[in-house]
C-alpha cells in the first residue's frame, strides 16, 4: 500500500502535454470553473476515467456478479447527482468532465448565487464562510451530494450570515 506519511499523486498528467487542442480546452475549463491550477482538472479527469473503467468492468462481468456492484455504483452516482434516477451503466460512459465540475462545492455555491464569481466562491469556501449542515467546509473541490446541496449556507460565525451584509444585498438584486 505504501507509507501513509508520504503523499501520492491522485492524478495522471496528459500523455501529450503540449497538444494545442488539449491546452486550449484545459484553459477554457480552468477559466470557466475558476480552478486554481491544472492539477485540479487532471484529478477530476482521473476520477472520471476510474468511474468509466469500473463501469466497463462491471459490464463485462456475468449477470450473477454484476447485480450488487452495478447497484452500488449507480446509487453512488445518483446520490452525487451525476446521473438521473433511472439510468444504466452506459450513461456512466457518457459522463463528461463538466458533469463532475458542476458537482464541486465551489460551483454549487456560485450557482446558488451565494457569490459573485467562481473565484469569490472559492475564496468564501477557503476562508470558512460556507457551511454544509452547520459544519464549515474549507475544500472547494468537495463533491456535493443532492442532500447536501439543500443544506449549504453561510456559516454562523461568518459576517455574511447577517441578511444586511452588503454582499448579500448585492447578490439578491
55 phi, psi to nearest 5 deg: -65, -40
Residue 58 neighbours by CB distance under 10 Å: 19
Per-residue pLDDT 10s for the chain (173 aa) are 678 888 888 999 999 999 999 999 999 999 999 999 999 999 999 999 999 999 999 999 988 888 899 999 999 999 999 998 888 888 999 999 999 999 999 999 999 999 999 999 999 999 999 999 999 999 999 999 999 999 999 999 999 999 898 988 898 87
All three cell numbers of 78 = 445518483
Instruction: Dump strand ranges (E) for the chain.
Output: 130-132, 135-136, 152-154
Give me the DSSP letters along 108-157: HHHHTTSSSSHHHHHHHHHTT-EEETTEE---TTPBPPHHHHTTEEE-TT
- CA gap 18, 37 in Å, rounded: 16
Longest CA span, the chain: 60
Which SS3 state, helix, strand or coil, does residue 61 take?
Answer: coil
- Note if the pTM is more than 0.75: yes
Top-tier CATH class for 104-172: alpha beta
Q: Given this model, what pLDDT does residue 49 score?
A: 96
Q: Given this model, what pLDDT does residue 85 score?
A: 85
Q: Given this model, what pLDDT does residue 5 score?
A: 84
- Domain ranges, ordered by start, for the chain: 20-101, 104-172
Amino acid at each position: 500500500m505504501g507509507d501513509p506519511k508520504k503523499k501520492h499523486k491522485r492524478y495522471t498528467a496528459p500523455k501529450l502535454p503540449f497538444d494545442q487542442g488539449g491546452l486550449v480546452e484545459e484553459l477554457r475549463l480552468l477559466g470557466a470553473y475558476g480552478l486554481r491550477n491544472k492539477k485540479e482538472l487532471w484529478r477530476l479527469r482521473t476520477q472520471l476515467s476510474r468511474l468509466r473503467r469500473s463501469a466497463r468492468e462491471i459490464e463485462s462481468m456475468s449477470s450473477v456478479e454484476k447485480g450488487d456492484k452495478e447497484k452500488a455504483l449507480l446509487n453512488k452516482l445518483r446520490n452525487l447527482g451525476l446521473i438521473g434516477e433511472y439510468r444504466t451503466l452506459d450513461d456512466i460512459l457518457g459522463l463528461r468532465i463538466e458533469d463532475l465540475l458542476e458537482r464541486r462545492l465551489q460551483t454549487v455555491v456560485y450557482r446558488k448565487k451565494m457569490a459573485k464569481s467562481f473565484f469569490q466562491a472559492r475564496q468564501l469556501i477557503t476562508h470558512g464562510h460556507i457551511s454544509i449542515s452547520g459544519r464549515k467546509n474549507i475544500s472547494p473541490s468537495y463533491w456535493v451530494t443532492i442532500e447536501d446541496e439543500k443544506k449549504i449556507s453561510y456559516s454562523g460565525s461568518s459576517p455574511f450570515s447577517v441578511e444586511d451584509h452588503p454582499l448579500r444585498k448585492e447578490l439578491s438584486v
